[in-house]
Amino acid sequence: MAGNTLKTYQKMRDFKSTPEPRGSPAKAGRVPIFVIQQHDASRLHYDLRLEVEGVLKSWAVPKGPSADPKIKRLAIPTEDHPIDYANFEGVIPEEQYGAGAVMVWDAGTYANTKAEIHGHQMSMKTGIERGEITFRLNGKKVKGGYVLIRIKKVPEEIWLLIKRKDEEARTGRTPSSREKARSVLSGLTLDEIREAAK
């Protein structure tokens, strides 16, 4: 199943040219992980990826997550990525899809918290199909409850990422500036990752 949903990802890339992982299957039954990568492609954005049934379900979040429940962040679904993409940091070459530097801006585990507000558990997969998931992130930078909700289905899906009101909510808090941001994996900035790849 994981192989199937990675077809788009694999078709879009030439693994002889890009340092990105081709993707290997994930172990079942573990605590699911999440990663937020800073990606300096044609436009700097954040990629939020949540482990769901063996792959990383992915959304491009142009402005990144906010800790302020009043701030709604646009989130555009992208193709499923392999689990090992969570450790990918480096530079995607010029002629490849998504060319530019990638940094692991935050990473950790998450919990599906649908039951907290709806009273019954629903799988992440079903939630994504229905257009609403709620989850608690346990990262180094990003913590607490979030909701991802689909507000438009055609011609292209548009979702919103919104902080839930909880003890981790902060008024006006947004991600650190591009210059100051460092990887939780290597401690490097995007510029340093670019230098290291030369």
User: Using CB under 5 A as the criterion, which residues of the chain lie in contact with Mn ion when the complex forms?
Assistant: 39, 47
* Closer Cβ to Mn ion, 76 or 122, answer by number: 76
Pairing of strands 72-82, 158-163: antiparallel
Q: State the minimum distance, in angstroms, from the CB of residue 106 to Mn ion.
A: 15
Are 77 and 159 in contact, with CB atoms under 8 Å apart?
Answer: yes
User: How open is the CA angle 156-66-20, to the nearest 5 degrees?
Assistant: 60
Query: Rounded to an integer, what distance in angstroms lies between the CA atom of residue 143 and that of residue 106?
Result: 10
Alpha helices in 79-123 (DSSP H): 114-118
Alpha helices in the chain (DSSP H): 2-5, 7-11, 114-118, 124-130, 190-196
Q: State the minimum distance, in angstroms, from the CB of residue 45 to Mn ion.
A: 6
Q: State the minimum distance, in angstroms, from the CB of residue 60 to Mn ion.
A: 5
**Which of 49, 8, 48 lies closest to 26, judged by CA?**
49
* Closer Cβ to Mn ion, 101 or 142, answer by number: 101
Q: State the minimum distance, in angstroms, from the CB of residue 73 to Mn ion.
A: 15
Q: Which residue has the tokens 């585990």?
A: 109
Q: State the minimum distance, in angstroms, from the CB of residue 101 to Mn ion.
A: 11
* Closer Cβ to Mn ion, 104 or 144, answer by number: 104
* Closer Cβ to Mn ion, 39 or 57, answer by number: 39
Q: State the minimum distance, in angstroms, from the CB of residue 28 to Mn ion.
A: 27
* Closer Cβ to Mn ion, 37 or 112, answer by number: 37
* Closer Cβ to Mn ion, 47 or 106, answer by number: 47
Could you give the 3-state DSSP secondary structure of residue 110? Answer: strand
Q: What are phi and psi of 84, to 5 degrees?
A: -70, -5
> Residue of minimal CB distance from Mn ion?
39
